[in-house]
Every structure is written in structure tokens, then in C-alpha cells.
Structure 1
Amino acid sequence: MQSTFLPLNARRFQQRAQVETPDTLYWDRLAKPELLKEHNTIDYVDFSPSDPENFVLTCSVRVQIYNLVTKLVVKNLSRFQKTAYGATFRQDGRLLAAGDEEGHVKLFDTTSRNILRLFKGHTAPVHRTFFTADKLQLASFGDDKAVRLWDVANEKVVQTYGDAHTDYIRAGAMHPQAAHMFVSGGYDGKISLYDTRAETAVQRTLDHGAPVESMLFLPNGSIFVSAGGNQVRVWDLISGCRLLTMMSQHHKTVTCLRLGSDGRRLFSGGLDRHVKIYDVSTYKTVHTLTYPNAVVSMAVASGDQAVVAGMVDGLVSIRRMIVDSKPSHLKKIRADRERKMYKEPKRPNDTQKADKIIKDRVKGPGLKKFDVHLRRFDHKKALDDVMAPQMMEKQPELVVAVVTDLLHRRCLYKALIGRPDRVLVRFINFVVNHLSEMRFMRPLLMAASTILMVFERRLVTYSQKLMEALERLAFAMETEVKLTTELMQLKGAMDMLIGVSMDNGEVVHKSTYVDTKGQKMQPSSAAEKYVVMVE
């Protein structure tokens, strides 16, 4: 009876595939990016509410309106002597406002490209401008540490707030429903909440903890979001601006925030070349988009038709959503045709029905070449087959699978001994390159030990290339040992801190802090290291 040979299982060495979720499938429908190139950093991107196929780019001294489909400039608003900043559409798409380096705010008619209003009052560059919910007023946020509220009709300043911040104001957001409320964020790390109806306009001041780069309100207006440093913070306006959650998914500064999917998804772009997409109901990351350079501005079209990102080198990435244009009834017709094509034909000669039809056994895939050599116990040829340069580069899991099988057979030593130097150097280089990968570490460490055994029995003089390969192997081993030692030390330190905090902590009322003597104290970063807050 012929014994069956099972082929090698290389799946266990493959990296785990990303878990497919509805968000992953949805956002993977974004097409490959179409790129535009400007000559300077893209300061701001905004989509037109009235014509979602048009978006405005603010770059250097130009404000340009592009068409999403043709990627051509529809209008060029070049009425700036110095750098323009933050061009945004009004809610109806008929007007567009932008600040500039001179401290002016210019209001344009999008249909005629004419300057309708010129607001003068700031003494430093104005980086952001936004319209109020009633479309009658315009707020400007400047580097002169002041926020000004303008009346669009009579071109006059309504109110000036000059004592809310102590540094540049580069971020702000208007309440989507209440025209009398808005927020501002400054480079002093502070967030100010304004109510124009009250005698004291600044209602509350919050601390973001880092220079604030971008802000926005959720559609219902009860929650607003701030971005600065590598953090995105969510604040509850209804419960006294309480901090709801904090997200630190970026490795570098978060530069821009946007909403998508009708307010159900939150986008954040950063200097780490990533755009994170969060679920607003859970504030968990559901998808990540990667870009070739640092993202400084971003906009999402209505209905998620497109995601436009502006980068620090002037590159503009346009990713449009792929929509299946084929009608559903055509899909059904096509499916019926395929079902008929693959339907088993009738046999005219069959006069009676068979009791049971035994189908031919489906043959599995044939053995690969190295499996055939292993089946014949030809270990050297099996190792030679997987040590082809292309396979070692693109399919390292196959090489490790063969090495693991040879280790289990205790035949790796026999497969390596008596080899020419070039073969040994290639094998050592593979071990060095992949030793740090967690999925390969255990078998490759055993392979490195086998290599040393091979050289212990070798009596001839080593070549220069072989000595250099052995030195690389020794350095890689030392690096892994050092890294493991540092990680164990870090784990021990963390265990000690956790143990000390649990021993010194005391169960108290919610939001109350105590020291080791039982004295109440205010929450601070120093106190939180040694006490425990119990919910």
C-alpha cells in the first residue's frame, strides 16, 4: 500500500490578513488616487455645498475652484497680493470667503469671481474664516490673537474678542444650528467657547494640551472635536464641555478634521501621511488611508463621492468612490445565463434513472518541486529549490517551511554541509534579513545554531565573503538579544509601577484623589502616578 505524502504547510508562517469589516469593504471602493500638482503647500480644501462636483483649493496667492470630474480649473480667484488662507464656501455655495497674509478677509461671488466685501481690522494674517449658521455673519480667526465677527451685509465688524487666547488662532468652528455659538482653538493649547448673546462672550475655556490645528462640530451641534499634537479630543457641549474621549491614532501632528457619511464618520489627517476614519458612535478607528506625503488639508464630498487631500509638497490626491453603474436586472440576467451555461446536460441514451451518481473525485493541486524532493528524502535539492533568489525575496514563508521541516527531520545539518561558499552566504543572508520577524524567529534561531555546527566541523580556511556573512549573523543575534533584554526590563518596570499604585491606592468616591496618608488632593499628572481613581 502506497503511503500518502502531505505537502508542507506554509500558511502558518504567513502574516494574518486584515479582518474585513463593512467599513473596510466600503472604503476600499475608493479608486486609485488621481494627482494634481501645485507649486506650494495646500493650505485648505473645501467642497461646494451647491455643486458637489466643485472644490476649492487654497495655495500660495491663488484660490482655485476645480471640477472633480475633469480635474480642470473652473474659476481662478487670484485677487491676492500675498498668501491666501482658508477659502471656504457659504452653506448655499454662492459666496466664498478667504483670509490672507495682510490680515484682510475677502468675500467673493462664486458665479462672477468679483470681490463683494473686503473686511479690514486684523493686524496679522488670517488663517481661517467661517460663516455662521444663519449665513448673515462671518467669523475670522487671526494670528493677532483675536477673533472678529463681521456683518456680511454692511461690511462692518460686529464684535472683537481679543483676550481669549495668548497665541496664534489657527482653528475654529461654527455651531451648525445656533448662529450665536462658535469655538476657537489657538497655539496656546486653549479652546474658547463663545456665545454672542451673553454679556461675557467667552463662556468657557478648555485645555487641549497642544497647539490646536483644526476643529469641527458634529451635525447635531451637541459635540465638537479638536485636533492638535497627535491627539483628537471629543467634547460634550451639553454636559458643560466635558471631555468624552481622546484618540491618539497618529504618530505625528494631526492637521485637519472632516466629517463623512452624513456625519457618521470622522476623518483626521496628519503629518504621518495617514488619514484615519473613526466611527462617531464608538470613536474607534474603522479604516486608514495612506498618502505619499504629510497631509495638511482634506475635504470629503457629500455622499462620500470623493476624498481630496492636500499635502505639504503641493500634491493634491483625489480619490473618487467607485459606483457600480450596472442595473440590478442586468445582473440577474447575467447570473441566469451563467447558471444555464454550467448546468449539467441531459444524456439522451439514459432510459432509466440511476439510484446514485458517484462523481469523480476532485484532484487536489499537485506537489510542488521541493515537496517532491522531500518525499524522496533528497534534502539538498529541496533546499536548493526554495533558495532561488526570487522565491527568497517574494515568498520567504516557503523557505522557512522547508527549513522547519528539515529541522524536524534533523537533516538541515546534512543539507548545509559540504556546500560552496556562495550557497552558505546566501542562506546566512536570508537568516539575517528575516531573523527579526516574529513569525520566523524560532525556526531561524535554530537554523543559525545549525550553521555554527556546520562551521565547527569545517577544517578548510574561510573566504572573506563567508567571514563577513558570519559577522552579520553575529551582529543580528546580538541585536535580538539586546532588544529582548530591554523589553524584559521595561516589562519589569511597568509591573513594579502597577504594583506600587495598587498598594498605595485607596477606594474613594468617584473623581476623588487621595494620597498614601488619606489626604484628599486635586487631580494632577504627578498625583495620578501614585494614586488610583475608582469609578
Structure 2
Amino acid sequence: MAAGGGSGGGSENFIPVQPKIYPSTRPPGSSDSTYWKSFKKKAVSQQVAGVTCIDFCPEPPYDFAVTSSTRVSIYDGESCELKKTISKFKDVAYSGVFRSDGQIIAAGGETGIIQVFDVNSKMVLRQLKSHGRPVRLVRYAPQDKLHLLSGSDDSMVKWWDVTTQEELLNLEGHKDYVRCGAASPSSNDIWATGSYDHTVRLWDLRNSKTILHLKHGKPLEDVLFFPSGGLLATAGGNIVKVWDILGGGRLIHMMESHQKTVMSMCVSKVVRSGQASHDAPSRLVTASLDGYMKAFDLNSFRVTHSAKYPAPVLSMGISPSCRTMAIGTSSGQLFIRQRKKQLDKQKPSYSSSILGSQGDDPQGESKPPVLRPNQFRYFLRGQSEKASEGDYHVKRQKKVNLQKYDRLLRKFRHTDALIYALKTANPKKIIAVMEELVARRMLMKSVVNLNGEDFELLIKFLCKYTAVPMYSRFLVALTDKVLDTRVEDLGNSETLKQQIGFLRSKVIEEIRVQQSMQELQGIIEPLIRASVQ
């Protein structure tokens, strides 16, 4: 209850009306959700067809290649603008990827030919011809500039010497389309490939043999080594499985959070403000044909964040700096999101910020400026000083900001306070003022004193919010008393008659809903009891 006082009383003795704090309808977002939501939409680019591959350059500024239809587009990693387009393909292009130094791009295609391009001139440097069917997988090793791996719909996996255009190894074992592959971070000689034959094979290029054979159970769309190299994630169908490679291919965990086929995966760090990148936790990020992008904690494998896109997602990529994210959909839309750069939190020295170069010491040591009484800063000294341990801090009394209805309540103008609160159209403030008037036993007297227009405001408010569960306990009883008290005034206005008719239909609908819920409760309760027994 607000403390009353005379019209000349000081506001420091008056407690303002405080609206109730109601339970939140949405749970607060986790720290991971806050991080992923910091990726703001930078651009939306419409491609010719579905975006089948997105690959970020390992070197700054982390440009990224987008493969769609018969072209590979290169976007700037900072501005996210289109820099170059490579369109020297006779048919649909697939899997445009950067070499480790970012100077070369290799891409497969529907023709079965692998083409190697110079990024700057867009010229075709090499053409690797051996596959008889479309090449959907092209990958450079992380530390190898001379060789690449390819996988084709002819079920073959080949290891190439790019400089001589020779096929060094032909890895046989898969029995269906080979659509995905990845190199181990710990060795350029260990590769994993996934096929539509539901299996994943680990190859040792030193002896051209399969060293591990994993059965995923669904056609494979993507495989991914974790940064340590000891774990492997495989995506096929709506299932993502995590395998312990060092433990002989033991299945660690299986995730079925998506409703449709998972098309792309990557591992990214969640770098929060003030945190070093090497200390940041890692997340497994997946994208699916159900239009969802989801992030998983690598310790518990639980979903920490999810985001919905308007079309099925075919490809996804996150830059090594964890600042830019690109999402490609089947409708050809390319969503580019970017986080703001973290500013350097190191404050400049006082001498350098105030005196500039004149305050620099020849020996590299900065000296504090000498302030004199004829300088304006002389009279401002000490204002930024912080209290040290043991100091007694005298806080300045905060000024109480009163709303207009608070000032009216302080002057005991109860009817005017109620009218002003109704005009704000804020239900929380209106109910707070009404409860204050109830505490003062002045609510119904204020209602009786309302004139025609102000009484219509009250009736409109009651019609709108009486059925809202958050306010119904208080407003249902108030509506009943208001209608009994002002029953004679209700027939004098056509507007009031319409509002009362609307309130009547709303009450009838609410009663119908409650009856339906009770019937549903009667159906569910026996089922719950039977399941418990």
C-alpha cells in the first residue's frame, strides 16, 4: 500500500505504486542461445538453385565459397559481399572447396570431372578425369597442398596428385554413392568417407586399406572428425552418431533431434565476451531438411540452441574465427549471419589519451600529466576515483520518479488516478492502481464517480482483460460489482450495450472452453492411473 501524504508532502516519503511481477511466459534464454542470437542477419542472397556446399577458407579474412547450380561464388569474409564467380562448368557443380592456403579452389561436377581453379584469375589450372559418374565429394587435406580426395556416384574413392593430374590410389569398398568425406586432424593419411550403402570407412592412404568399418544404418550425408581426431560424427537420415575411433569404432552416443535428414555438420567454439578462443567450449552444429539448425553440447550431447529457417537446409558453414555463419537452403537462399567484432578492452594510458604524442617518454615510459590551477581538468580531478577497501561510501539519495497517477494518489485524487491509469491502456499499471484503491477502500467510490466517457473506458478494459488468466481472479469479482453498481447507466449508451454484449459472448465462450477441458481431464485421468498401475 502506498503511503499517503498531504499535497505539500515530500515525495521521498511516498512509495510509488508497483505493478505485480507475473511469471514469465517464456523461460530465459541460456548463455548458448544468447551467443547464437548474436549472429545478426548480414545478407540474404538468392542463388540460381539449391546451395549444395559452403566452404570457408582456412586463412584470414576467411572468405567462403558457395556452390550452387553451375557456379562457385566466392564471398568476402568481412563484408559478406560477392567477390568473384567461377562459372566454367558444363553442368551442375558440386563441392567447391578451398586449399589450405586459400589460393586454389577445387570442385567436382555432374560430368565426373574435377576442376582446379586459381582463385585470383579464375583460370582452370588442372582437370582430373577418371570418375565415370558425378563427383559429389572433393576435399583437400588440411596440411597438404599437392593432393586431394574425391568420391563419386560410381562408388569409387580416389586420391589424386594435382600437379601431375595422376590418380595415385583407387580405394574400393563402398557399394553405393560416396557423398561425404573428411580428413583426420591428427594425420593427413587417415580419411573417413560415407556412402549411401549405410557405411563409413576409414582409410589409411599409406597402405590403401580400410582400417575401420562403421555401420551407420542410413545413407550417409556428412562425416566429421572432432578437433582431437579421436571422435567421428556421422550424419545419415535424421540420426547423428558419435564414434570412438581410438576405441575401435565404439558407438558413444546417438542423437535423433531432427525430424528429417541431417545434411551438414560442423564444430564451432562458443566464444563469449572476454574469453580466449582456446578456452571456449565447442559445440557440434547440425543442419537438416526440416529447416532447423541445432547446436549440441559435446559433453552431454544435449541441444543448447536451435534456429528455424524458411526452407530445407542443404549446407552450412562457420568461419574459423567463429564470427561469420552461412546457411544454404534448397530454395537457393543463402543466409549470411555475422557477429560484431570484439573491441580491444585495454584502455589507453592517461597520458596517451590526453596528451597524445607529446606525453610519450623517450625511454618508453609514460608520465602522468601535471595539472595546473589554470586548467579546466584541475577542477575535475578525483571524480573518477573508486572507493578503496575500508572507505565509507556515502550514497547519494536517489530521486523517486513518480508517475502521474502516483502524484494524484498522493493528493488523494482517487478518481482522477483511476482515469489516468485507464488512459495508459497498460493492464499491469491499471490493475496496480486498482489494487491500491482497494487497499484504501476507495475503488468502488471511484467507479461510481466516473462519468460517461470514463466509464466506457473502464467497461472496455474489463471486456478485454477479464478472461485473461493472468488477471481473471481480480477482474471477475470487480466486473460483477461494477455491473451491479452501475446497472442503470448501462442502458443509456449504445456503446455500453455493445460492450456488454461482447462481454457476455466472451463469458459464454470461456465457459464452453472450461467444460471442454473438464471433459478432457475426465478422459485423461483414467489413462494416467492405468499407466501408473
How many pairs align? 471
Structure 1 residues 117 and 313, CA gap change in structure 2 (3 angstroms): closer
Q: Supply the AA of the counterpart residue of 1:370.
A: Y
Q: 1:471 aligns with which of 493, 501, 505?
A: 505
Aligned to 1:117: 127
Question: 2 CA distance for matches of 1:410 and 1:2?
Answer: 13
1:370 aligned counterpart, secondary structure: helix
Structure 1 residues 140 and 364, CA gap change in structure 2 (3 angstroms): same
Aligned to 2:475: 447
Question: 2 CA distance for matches of 1:89 and 1:446?
Answer: 65
Q: CA offset at residue 342 of structure 1?
A: 7.3
Q: CA offset at residue 54 of structure 1?
A: 1.9
Q: Supply the AA of the counterpart residue of 1:158.
A: L
Q: CA offset at residue 127 of structure 1?
A: 3.3
Question: 1 CA distance for matches of 2:102 and 2:20?
Answer: 54
Q: CA offset at residue 65 of structure 1?
A: 1.6
Aligned to 1:302: 320
1:475 aligned counterpart, secondary structure: helix
Contact 1:184 1:193 in 2 (8 A): yes
Q: Supply the AA of the counterpart residue of 2:333.
A: G
Aligned to 1:239: 247
Q: CA offset at residue 234 of structure 1?
A: 2.5
Q: 1:106 aligns with which of 106, 115, 134?
A: 115
Larger deviation: 453-462 or 368-377?
453-462
Unaligned runs of 5+ in 2: 6-12, 270-277, 355-367, 370-376, 385-390
Aligned pairs for 1:265-414 (under 5 A) are: 265-270=283-288, 275-284=293-302, 295-311=313-329, 312-325=331-344, 328-330=347-349, 341=380, 343=382, 362-373=397-408, 381-388=416-423, 391-392=425-426, 397-399=428-430, 401-402=432-433
* Cα root mean square deviation, aligned: 4.7
Structure 1 residues 466 and 342, CA gap change in structure 2 (3 angstroms): farther
1:86-122 Cα shifts (integer Å, max 9, x gaps): 2112333343222323444333333442331233424
Question: 2 CA distance for matches of 1:232 and 1:485?
Answer: 41
Contact 1:30 1:322 in 2 (8 A): no
Contact 2:241 2:251 in 1 (8 A): yes
Contact 1:65 1:76 in 2 (8 A): yes
2:400 aligned counterpart, secondary structure: coil
Q: 1:156 aligns with which of 167, 184, 191?
A: 167
Question: 1 CA distance for matches of 2:529 and 2:237?
Answer: 29
Question: 1 CA distance for matches of 2:317 and 2:497?
Answer: 60
- Aligned-residue sequence identity (percent) comes to 24
Q: CA offset at residue 385 of structure 1?
A: 3.6
Aligned to 1:528: none
Residue 56 (structure 1) aligned with residue 65 (structure 2): yes
Question: 2 CA distance for matches of 1:480 and 1:339?
Answer: 72
Q: 1:174 aligns with which of 146, 161, 183?
A: 183
Q: 1:216 aligns with which of 215, 218, 224?
A: 224
Q: CA offset at residue 362 of structure 1?
A: 1.0
Q: Supply the AA of the counterpart residue of 2:96.
A: A
Q: CA offset at residue 378 of structure 1?
A: 6.1
Q: 1:424 aligns with which of 447, 459, 465?
A: 459
Question: 2 CA distance for matches of 1:138 and 1:495?
Answer: 62
Bigger RCO of structures 1 and 2 (CA < 8 A, at least 6 apart): 2
Q: Supply the AA of the counterpart residue of 2:222.
A: S
Larger deviation: 58-67 or 405-414?
405-414
1:130-164 Cα shifts (integer Å, max 9, x gaps): 2345646544444x472422423444373354644
1:206-249 Cα shifts (integer Å, max 9, x gaps): 336x6644331112211112345555432222223333334566
Structure 1 residues 96 and 344, CA gap change in structure 2 (3 angstroms): closer
Aligned to 2:362: none
Question: 2 CA distance for matches of 1:384 and 1:339?
Answer: 53
1:291-343 Cα shifts (integer Å, max 9, x gaps): 67664432222232422333444233141441315753258977999998474
Contact 2:171 2:208 in 1 (8 A): no
Unaligned runs of 5+ in 1: 346-355, 436-440, 501-535
Question: 2 CA distance for matches of 1:88 and 1:82?
Answer: 17
1:471 aligned counterpart, secondary structure: helix
Contact 1:428 1:473 in 2 (8 A): no
User: TM-score, normalization: structure 1?
Assistant: 0.69
Question: 2 CA distance for matches of 1:133 and 1:361?
Answer: 61
Larger deviation: 332-341 or 448-457?
332-341
Question: 1 CA distance for matches of 2:259 and 2:308?
Answer: 13
User: TM-score, normalization: structure 2?
Assistant: 0.69
1:436-461 Cα shifts (integer Å, max 9, x gaps): xxxxx343354246446655774756
Question: 2 CA distance for matches of 1:270 and 1:240?
Answer: 29
Q: CA offset at residue 80 of structure 1?
A: 1.7
1:201 aligned counterpart, secondary structure: strand
1:50-75 Cα shifts (integer Å, max 9, x gaps): 44432111122110222223444443
Question: 2 CA distance for matches of 1:340 and 1:249?
Answer: 64
Structure 1 residues 269 and 486, CA gap change in structure 2 (3 angstroms): farther
1:252-293 Cα shifts (integer Å, max 9, x gaps): 654422223368343334456654444434545556667676
1:428 aligned counterpart, secondary structure: helix
Q: 2:233 aligns with which of 212, 225, 235?
A: 225
Contact 1:260 1:303 in 2 (8 A): no
Q: Supply the AA of the counterpart residue of 1:77.
A: I
